[in-house]
Structure 1
Amino acid sequence: MTRVARRMFELLEPICLVTFMADECGEELAALGHPNYWDGYFASRAAPLGRVPAEVVHAAFYNFAPGEAARHIPKAWEKIPPEESFAARERGSVASLRRILGDLAESPDVAVAAELTTNAALSASTVGRVMYAGLRTVPMPVEPLNRLWHSATMLREHRGDGHIAALVGARVGGTEAHVLSALAMGVYPAESFGRIHHLPKKRLAAVMDGLRERGVLDAEGRFTETGRALQERIEELTDQLAEEPYEVLTDGELDELVTALEPLAARLRATGSQ
């Protein structure tokens, strides 16, 4: 049976992806003064953590190569306060949702989804959930579409924190996690995956060699049976760890939430959240 958390991920992820895929968020961050995409990304996503060192951002984000966070943090906060970057992130993301959803942006489904996702997003424990805990300190927006984006993002970071715990437990590092994800999505060779293809070839080769030595990959860089089983265990545990927020909702409320989210997610998926 599909776990509730997996179904919610499928329905909420298209809402969250506008932050990264559509133009409006980047435009808002550029207007604020961030000179490039990655300055805006690190400054706005890490903003709820406060003015922490790059090492903390690197640890919390987990899947960036060593030194990548330090190229943007704390530089991206020197002239632009973190809270302003986060506000720009919200403005741009909600503008994208409003444009893509069109008439659906004002539908009763948005209000219903906003209320129920907010209830879920505010219900879980913050223990061991660094990114989620940071977002819990940000005031919840009032407008339904803003609230839906914010609560969906909270649930995404909650899931992400659990995913990191699953990866750490499986001794899979950030770059290794991208290799596993790429292969699971059918991207081959894994080194061509967009999140890691820019890394130095020597570093990528070392990561691939390490996974071969563990029996995760074969000589051609594809999953072994052991490797595929490892990737599936990580995803299963990620789903398990993401269940808690939805336990506050009754079966009827979960059905209501799915019904409200389905047309929104379908519209967003049709455009690739762009």
Structure 2
Amino acid sequence: MWRLVEGYHAPVYFAPQAREEYAAAGLRGFWMGYVAGRSGPLGAVPPEVVTAMFYNFAAARIDRALPDAWSLGTPADAVAAHQRIADLRLRELLGDGVDDPALGEVAKALAEVVVGLDPAGRPLFAAHAALAIPDAPHLALWWATTALREFRGDGHVAALLTAGLDGCEANVLAVVAGQVPEQQREFRGWTEPEWEAAINRLRERGWLDADDALTDRGRQVRTDVEELTDRLAASVDRAVEAGFGVDRLLAALRPVVARTVEGVPFPNPIGLPE
């Protein structure tokens, strides 16, 4: 389910329209737009708060975007730009499928799930879930999948904390495991010294060997993190099953995401597998 939810949400990050739409909202460059657009539902919070919630981004990457973004535009402007990018890109990718009545059915089902979830301990989810649900079915579905991926993401942060992994270390392990591109350090804004220090810490714990490959213990840590992330997201599965039905939802999403995932490069920094 995560792969399908992420496959519908993710094209917004790789849309060719992004820079133009962010610029129209007064934001300078892609990264300022990304940070402001994703954190905008929280309001004009300081960069330290966003760094804490995003978790795997270096503080310097967030500091370059905030609070400057809030002197150039409002959080509402950034959120609106983010949604316009999603609208334009999804219309391109879905083609005539954007008018498929089944899209509205799935959007309604997932919106009901989002509204019914407990937001406790899930700040990014709570902020995105509190936004108004768009009228257009393809955007209502994007709103729901966005909220759900942040629900899972908030739980993933809790799992990383439980495992004693900081944001840089988590990225290092993802690169070593082949889950994300080799350029992940640059994508997430970590310096070379910060990256090397994280590698050294992982070696000292016995999670990486002398060749910087995962040890058995390192693989087990990653497995534990993913399994805990799944358990923390299990309320979504239960809610879907109680309403629309998991099998029915997956069957409905697969042909839709087969189109939208064409807008996602592989490999990608999100870790979505091809």
TM-score higher than 0.5: yes
Asked if the contact 1:17–1:273 (Cα under 8 Å) also holds between the matched residues in 2, the reply is: no
Q: Does 1:222 align with 2:187?
A: no
- Other structure's SS at 1:172 match: coil
User: Which of 111, 136, 144 does residue 129 from structure 2 map onto?
Assistant: 136
Asked whether 1:199 is paired with 2:190, we answer yes
Choose which of 215, 222, 225 in structure 2 pairs with 1:231. 222
Letter in 2 for 1:201: E
Instruction: Give runs of aligned pairs for residues 98-247 of structure 1, distance below 5 A.
Output: 98-185=91-178, 192-196=182-186, 199-247=190-238
The one-letter code matched in structure 2 to 1:78 is S
**1:196 to partner: Cα distance:** 4.0
Unaligned runs of 5+ in 2: 267-274
Matching residue within 233, 243, 257 for 2:249: 257
Name the Cα RMSD after superposition: 1.9
Shift of 1:185: 2.5
**8 Å CA contact 1:111, 1:144 repeated in 2:** yes
How many Å separate the matches in 2 of 1:173 and 1:161? 14
Instruction: Tell me how far 1:158 sits from its aligned partner.
Output: 0.4
What is the CA-CA distance between 1:186 and the residue it aligns to?
5.5
Count of aligned residue pairs for this structure pair? 264
AA aligned to 2:252 is: A
Paired letter, 1:163? H
> What is the aligned-residue identity percentage?
37
- State how far apart, in whole Å, the 2-side matches of 1:82 and 1:159 are: 23
Offset of residue 67 of structure 1: 2.5
Go from structure 1 to structure 2 and tell me whether the alpha carbon gap of 1:28 and 1:152 turns closer, same or farther (over 3 Å shift).
same
* Alignment CA distance shift 1:99-1:74 (3 Å): same
Q: Does structure 1 conserve the Cα–Cα contact (< 8 Å) formed by 2:8 and 2:261? A: no
Tell me how far apart the structure 2 counterparts of residues 208 and 250 of structure 1 sit (CA, whole Å): 41
What is the TM-score when the length of structure 2 is the normalising length? 0.90
Give me the TM-score of the superposition, normalised by structure 1.
0.90
Q: Distance in 1 between matches of 2:91 and 2:68?
A: 32
Give the 5 Å matches for 1:42-81.
Answer: 42-81=35-74
- Give SS of 2:17's match: helix
After TM superposition, give the deviation of residue 273 of structure 1 in Å.
6.8
Q: Distance in 2 between matches of 1:45 and 1:270?
A: 22
In the alignment, which residue of structure 1 is the partner of 2:89?
Answer: 96
Structure 1 residue runs without a partner (length 5+): 1-7
Q: What is the CA–CA distance in structure 2 between the aligned matches of 1:112 and 1:99, rounded to whole Å? A: 21
8 Å Cα contact 1:163/1:234 also seen in 2: yes
Query: Do structure 1's residue 30 and structure 2's residue 20 form an aligned pair?
Result: no
